[in-house]
């Protein structure tokens, strides 16, 4: 994926989050405070004015800085820091050759910032499983990413606001897991 396609995919997320705002908010209403849809939309709406499109690396870095300062909530620094970290390893293009490294940077950033592991019912479940799939030579489709998010439904949350719901967090897809399906699809879908 070159700079032009990456820019187009990331800017298309403004429309995606407009469409998905209500459903993400519903998910966050069930096991959080009901702001995840608004948060993601606020972050991506700020992107057109703040994107430095000179290269893949500057696109990722400026996206990270924008998300960090506009999303708010727990997810802002997590996504923001991840994009800044991916910028450091993506080089001139995201290709099948460096995809594994890019996803490792994404996953490591979330693990480090969120102090999170697999099966804690967060965005990390989708990001880390996408990384593992790529390492296994599998291609990443939207449908596959969606199954990773759907798998969070039966988990009990132990991180973030959802952890306050304990057993009651079961039966709902994690909002950040769902938003990371869209983010990952824009970054690496079918790459």
The 10 Å Cβ neighbour count of residue 173 is 23
CA angle 32, 115, 109 (to 5 degrees): 100
Interface residue with Mg ion among 6, 16, 17, 32 (CB under 5 A) is 32
Total residues at interface with ligand ADP (CB under 6 A): 24
Angle between helix 175-188 and 99-114 (nearest 10): 160
Q: Which does 78 bind (CB under 5 to 8 A by kind): ligand ADP, Mg ion, none?
A: ligand ADP
Q: Does 174 bind Mg ion (CB under 5 A)?
A: no
Q: Does 138 bind Mg ion (CB under 5 A)?
A: no
Q: Which does 160 bind (CB under 5 to 8 A by kind): ligand ADP, Mg ion, none?
A: ligand ADP
Q: Does 61 bind ligand ADP (CB under 6 A)?
A: no
Q: Which stretch binds ligand ADP (CB under 6 A): 9-17, 80-88, 135-143, 168-176?
A: 168-176
Least distance to ligand ADP, CB of residue 173, Å:
9
Cβ burial of 164 (10 Å; 0-12, 13-18, 19+) is exposed
Interface residue with ligand ADP among 86, 94, 116, 134 (CB under 6 A) is 116
Please list every residue from 75 through 94 that binds ligand ADP, using CB under 6 A: 75, 78
- Which is nearer to Mg ion, 71 or 130 (by Cβ)? 71
- Which is nearer to Mg ion, 142 or 164 (by Cβ)? 164
Query: Which residues lie near Mg ion (CB under 5 A)?
Result: 28, 32-33, 35-36
Query: Which residues lie near ligand ADP (CB under 6 A)?
Result: 28, 32-33, 35-36, 39, 73-75, 78, 110, 114-116, 122-124, 159-161, 174-177
């Amino acid at each position: 994926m070159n700079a032009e396609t990456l820019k187009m995919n990331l800017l298309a997320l403004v429309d995606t989050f407009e469409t998905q705002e209500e459903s993400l908010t519903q998910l966050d209403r069930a096991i959080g405070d009901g702001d995840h849809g608004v948060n993601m939309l606020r972050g991506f709406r700020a992107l057109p004015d703040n994107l430095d499109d000179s290269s893949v690396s500057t696109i990722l870095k400026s996206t990270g800085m924008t998300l960090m300062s506009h999303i708010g909530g727990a997810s802002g620094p997590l996504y923001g820091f991840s994009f800044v970290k991916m910028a450091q390893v993506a080089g001139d293009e995201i290709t099948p050759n460096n995809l594994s490294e890019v996803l490792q940077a994404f996953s490591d950033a979330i693990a480090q910032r969120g102090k999170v592991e697999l099966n804690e019912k967060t965005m990390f479940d989708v990001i880390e499983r996408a990384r593992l799939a790529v390492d296994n030579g599998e291609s990443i489709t939207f449908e596959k990413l969606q199954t990773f998010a759907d798998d969070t439904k039966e988990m009990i949350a132990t991180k973030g606001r959802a952890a306050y719901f304990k057993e009651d967090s079961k039966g709902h897809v994690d909002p950040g897991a769902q938003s990371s399906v869209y983010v990952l699809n824009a970054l690496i879908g079918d790459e």
